[in-house]
Amino acid sequence: MSEKHTYTTAVEWTKERRAALSSRGLPTIEVATPPNFPGGHEGIWSPEHLYTAAAEVCLMTTFLSFAERANLDFLSYKSEADGILDKVEKSLLMTRIHIKPTITVANEADREEALKLIERAERYCLISNSIKSEVTVEAIVVVNQH
């Protein structure tokens, strides 16, 4: 696998503060200014949502890679993330992304392994390592009682 990868996207303005975001071979999504800004729109993905999601999805895919290599038999993975936009000096910055994954496993031994792997994923997530925002992870690993 090459050490350098290029990911190409394209944005085309449609109207108001809305646009179409696309990339070859992927579905086009509508994007817009978030509703808490002047001219913003409800119900449409914003750069702030995508920024937060990039770190959240990267944590998951990094965990999945490590779990596969470790042969961890987990039952489910879901997460929520909060991207915190704050005024720093005179600029707005995404200062923090707090990711809350919940991983369900079958037994206590798998619980310990899942905790180790999600901590490792937090360290190695390439998106988190590439951005200025502080990224924190508050993982919960649940043992399935069924």
Q: How far apart are alpha carbons 19 and 22 in whole angstroms? A: 10
Closest Cα partner for 137 from 104, 97, 103?
Answer: 97
Per-residue pLDDT, 1: 65
Would you write out the chain's pLDDT as a tens digit for each of its 146 residues?
Answer: 679 999 999 999 999 999 999 999 999 999 999 999 999 999 999 999 999 999 999 999 999 999 999 999 999 999 999 999 999 999 999 999 999 999 999 999 999 999 999 999 999 999 999 999 999 999 999 999 88
Per-residue pLDDT, 26: 98
SS3 content of the chain, % helix, strand, coil (to 5): 30, 35, 30
pLDDT digits 0-9 by tens, 44-60: 999 999 999 999 999 99
DSSP 66-101: HHHHTT--EEEEEEEEEEEEEEETTEEEEEEEEEEE
pLDDT digits 0-9 by tens, 108-124: 999 999 999 999 999 99
Q: What is the DSSP letter of 106?
A: S
